[in-house]
């Protein structure tokens, strides 16, 4: 089932689809809300509760309409249940001692200032290189992935540093008594700049959630009323609408050129609705008619190598176009085999597991992924409960960045895992350099 076919059915039965999405999201929220440090403002709530709430609502919609088999619907249900059960179990356990010692070692007190200065310098150098080489992602003619071909490794570093700087800046503002307005303005400018550079339509909203998460992790009691909730939604939604408008303009698409499928709304609003539905696009592309069982694959080990060295580098290493074999990319190529534009739908952990490992191996993979994510969550939560991070903004900012990147494992497992390794290596190296610098200065 291609996208236009699904959207036609979805618009005809939109009340049922909305109800199923609402029920799915509500159920997921009920299952995980007690585990989330920042509650509804936790980045995990956006990625899992909303993102997978839409996905599971679409899967239920397809099953009720007789468009997917009971077997595939059952696989999604079982994998989802395994993830929830395992994630809940490991999130409630005591933090892993080995991981805790690694994090404490990386984020030792006194290293924060040096690491902060190094990350700012690194961000400025890489962002300048990206801007002069490919420009801002928001202005990409096709999409940000296609525009940034060959620069994936650099962008991944920026995507790791950005939440760290947002979290660190938020903590510094919260602890300062003077010049807050000026500092808030500077942080806001950085968030907008990072969003324009990245090009992801949800960037600003995600940065705001990282800010809230860091403050809650640091023990600040935030009074978040309806006004602030609406404000966050307006800021995040405003950028999303602006990004959609720019994308349409860059592709020379105007409201007068197209008759909208949703009567009474503008073209941008319609594309916003479609963008929300796109959280489940892999589901409606490959679950109907058993397309998922006909997708091409390569070696699963190669899937976890690709994010580290990029599609260009891994294609040279393995001798074939590794960019073709993500589940989302395969879903796109199934309907358009001649597409040369990079990117595609996201894989999602459950369909990635099933495509590459089958029902049994896939179930084991889901359990391992959920246990890793739950263990990281428990580790981060322990730093707030036992107060060992008190006064260590570096550690809080690092953990906020780590969490915001770790949760991407549920969307693209290999990419999310690469971010975890990146975080430990990058900040471990920077912290070690800062430590050597302090020792040398103390000897002078």
- When pLDDT is averaged across residues 203-231 and rounded to a whole number, the result is 80
Give CA–CA dist 203/190, Å, rounded: 12
Q: Which residues contact 370 (CB under 8 A, 6 or more apart)?
A: 82, 83, 84, 85, 86, 87, 90
Confidence of residue 418 (pLDDT cuts 50, 70, 90): very high
Q: Is the pLDDT of residue 386 over 60?
A: no
pLDDT tens column, 22-53: 999 999 999 999 999 888 889 999 999 999 99
Using CA atoms, how far residue 208 sits from 46, 202, 219, 231, in Å, is 12, 10, 17, 11
In which band, very low, low, confident or very high, does the pLDDT at 387 lie, cut at 50, 70 and 90?
very low
- Token readout for 63 is 């099953």
Lowest mean pLDDT among 88-97, 224-233, 253-262, 432-441: 253-262
Q: How far apart are CA 162 and CA 164, in angstroms?
A: 5
Give the least confident one: 91-95, 216-220, 253-257, 383-387. Answer: 253-257
Of the candidates 245, 158, 250, the residue with the CA atom closest to the CA atom of residue 203: 158
Q: Is the CB of residue 384 less than 8 Å from the CB of residue 37? A: yes
- pLDDT: is 202 or 421 the higher one? 421
Average pLDDT over residues 176-202: 84
Find the Cα–Cα–Cα–Cα dihedral 421, 424, 426, 430, rounded to 10°. Answer: -170
Q: Predicted confidence band at 77 (pLDDT cuts at 50, 70, 90)?
A: very high
Q: Of 27-41, 132-146, 250-264, 396-410, give the lowest mean pLDDT range.
A: 250-264
- Cβ contacts of 92 within 8 Å, gap of 6 or more: 35, 378
| pLDDT of 276 | 72
The single-letter DSSP state of residue 68 is S
> What is the chain's length?
444
User: Quick one: pLDDT band at residue 341, thresholds 50, 70, 90?
Assistant: low
Kindly tell me the sign of the dihedral angle through the C-alpha atoms of 71, 77, 81, 87: positive
Cβ contact 359:293 at 8 Å: no
> Poorest-confidence range of 61-65, 273-277, 376-380, 410-414?
273-277
In the block, tokens 């091409």 appear at 296
DSSP state of 314: H
pLDDT at residue 249, as a whole number: 57
Is residue 416 predicted with pLDDT exceeding 60? Answer: yes
Q: What is the largest CA-CA distance in the chain?
A: 76
Kindly tell me if the per-residue pLDDT of 405 is higher than 90. yes
Lowest mean pLDDT among 222-231, 320-329, 368-377, 405-414: 222-231
CA distances from 268 to 7, 136, 170, 236, 271 (A): 16, 21, 32, 15, 5
Specify the DSSP class assigned to residue 410: G
Q: Is the pLDDT of residue 96 over 70?
A: yes
Structure tokens at 195: 């969003």
């Amino acid at each position: 089932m291609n996208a236009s076919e699904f959207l036609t059915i979805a618009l005809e039965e939109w009340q049922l689809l909305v109800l199923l999405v609402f029920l799915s999201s509500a159920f997921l929220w009920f299952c995980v809300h007690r585990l989330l440090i920042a509650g509804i403002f936790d980045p995990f709530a956006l990625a899992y509760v909303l993102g997978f709430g839409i996905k599971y609502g679409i899967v239920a919609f397809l099953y009720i309409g007789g468009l997917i088999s009971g077997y595939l619907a059952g696989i999604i249900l079982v994998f989802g249940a395994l993830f929830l059960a395992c994630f809940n179990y490991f999130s409630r356990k005591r933090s892993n001692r080995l991981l805790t010692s690694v994090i404490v070692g990386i984020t030792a007190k006194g290293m924060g200032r040096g690491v902060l200065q190094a990350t700012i310098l690194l961000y400025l150098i890489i962002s300048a290189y990206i801007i002069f080489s490919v420009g801002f992602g928001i202005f990409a003619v096709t999409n940000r992935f296609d525009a940034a071909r060959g620069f994936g490794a650099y962008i991944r570093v920026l995507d790791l540093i950005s939440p760290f700087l947002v979290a660190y800046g938020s903590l510094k503002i919260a602890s300062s008594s003077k010049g807050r307005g000026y500092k808030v303005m500077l942080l806001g400018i950085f968030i907008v700049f990072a969003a324009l550079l990245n090009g992801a339509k949800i960037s600003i909203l995600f940065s705001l959630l990282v800010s809230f998460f860091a403050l809650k992790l640091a023990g600040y009691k935030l009074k978040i009323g309806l006004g602030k909730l609406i404000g966050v939604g307006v800021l995040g939604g405003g950028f999303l609408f602006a990004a959609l408008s720019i994308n349409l303009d860059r592709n020379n698409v105007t409201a007068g050129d197209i008759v909208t499928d949703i009567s009474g709304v503008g073209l941008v609003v319609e594309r916003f609705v479609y963008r929300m539905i796109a959280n489940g696009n892999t589901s409606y592309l490959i679950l109907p008619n058993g397309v998922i069982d006909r997708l091409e694959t390569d070696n699963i080990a190669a899937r976890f190598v690709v994010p580290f060295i990029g599609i260009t580098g891994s294609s040279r290493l393995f001798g074939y176009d590794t960019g073709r074999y993500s589940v989302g990319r395969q879903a796109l190529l199934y309907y358009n085999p001649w597409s040369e534009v990079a990117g595609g739908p996201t894989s999602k952990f459950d369909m990635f597991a099933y495509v590459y490992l089958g029902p049994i191996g896939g179930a084991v993979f889901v359990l391992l992924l959920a246990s890793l994510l739950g263990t990281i969550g428990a580790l981060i939560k322990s730093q707030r409960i036992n107060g060992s991070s008190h006064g260590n903004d570096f550690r809080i900012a690092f953990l906020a960045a780590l969490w915001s990147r770790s949760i991407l494992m549920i969307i693209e497992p290999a990419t999310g895992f690469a971010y975890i390794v990146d975080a430990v290596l990058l900040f471990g190296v920077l912290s070690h350099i800062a430590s050597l610098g302090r020792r040398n200065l103390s000897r002078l």
